[in-house]
Homo-oligomer: A and B are copies of this chain.
Amino acid sequence: MKKTKPKYNQIIEAAVEVIAENGYHGSQVSKIAKKAGVADGTIYLYFKNKEDILISVFEEKMGQFIERIIESIHDKQSASSKLLTLIEMHFRQLSENYHLAIVTQLELRQSNAALRLQINKVLKPYLAVMDDIVKEGMSEHIFRDNLNVRLVRQMMFGTLDEIVTNWVMKEGRYDLVSQAPVVHDLLTNGLTAKS
């Protein structure tokens, strides 16, 4: 049976809340400790340093984020429906966790180069999922067979990321999930009018 590490999770959850509320630079370790209900020093029994808290937050949360997306698209039949599901899940998960959305879209980007390298490493599996969908669509002949996978994936990720960031900066005042089909349509069919 897996040990639950309650303190570790308390600190992770507290960090998300504190960063979302106070911003990256306003999030002192003592503030996170207080919110987590532990002593300052206890933080350092579970994390190497402050940066390690942030990396761990991202790893834990993105790990779940990606797992759920993989699960959801698993039983979808076509690359196209997989893409739609991915977009929906991407929007839904961040919609349903506004604090996390603030942290991933705004605050975590204020980190330094070293931390961003770690973040990119965590993102890799997600980008690989996108790559797989593109490749699958190509072999299914649903997508064009001469696509530059890297560029397509950058379009996909860049589009989703920018849309969520705008939504967060508008303080989540409109519905994000309902836009998934439109985004899916734009990505698959482009701007051009059908002749």
Contact = CB atoms under 8 A, between A and B. Distances in A.
Copies in the complex: 4
A151 B137 contact: no
Contact of A194 (B24, B144, B155): B144
A162 B160 CA distance: 10
A187 B191 contact: yes
A147 interface: yes
A165 to B, nearest CB: 8
A45 interface: no
A156 to B, nearest CB: 9
Assign chain A's interface to a size class.
35 or more
Contacts of A134: 191
B163 A193 contact: no
A116 interface: yes
Interface of A: 23-25, 106, 109-113, 116, 120, 134, 137, 141-145, 147-148, 151-152, 154-155, 157-163, 166, 169, 179, 182-183, 186-194
B190 A188 contact: yes
Nearest to A186: B155
Instruction: Among A112, A161, A186, find the residue whose CB has the most chain B CB atoms closer than 10 A.
Output: A186
Instruction: Among A111, A113, A187, A190, find the residue whose CB has the most chain B CB atoms closer than 10 A.
Output: A190
A193 B159 contact: no
A92 to B, nearest CB: 17
Contact of A191 (B179, B188, B193): B188
Given A116-B106, A143-B191, A151 B169 contact: no
A101 B109 CA distance: 16
Nearest to A189: B190
A23 B114 CA distance: 11
B151 A191 contact: no
A134 B193 CA distance: 12
Contact of A193 (B144, B157, B160, B194): B144
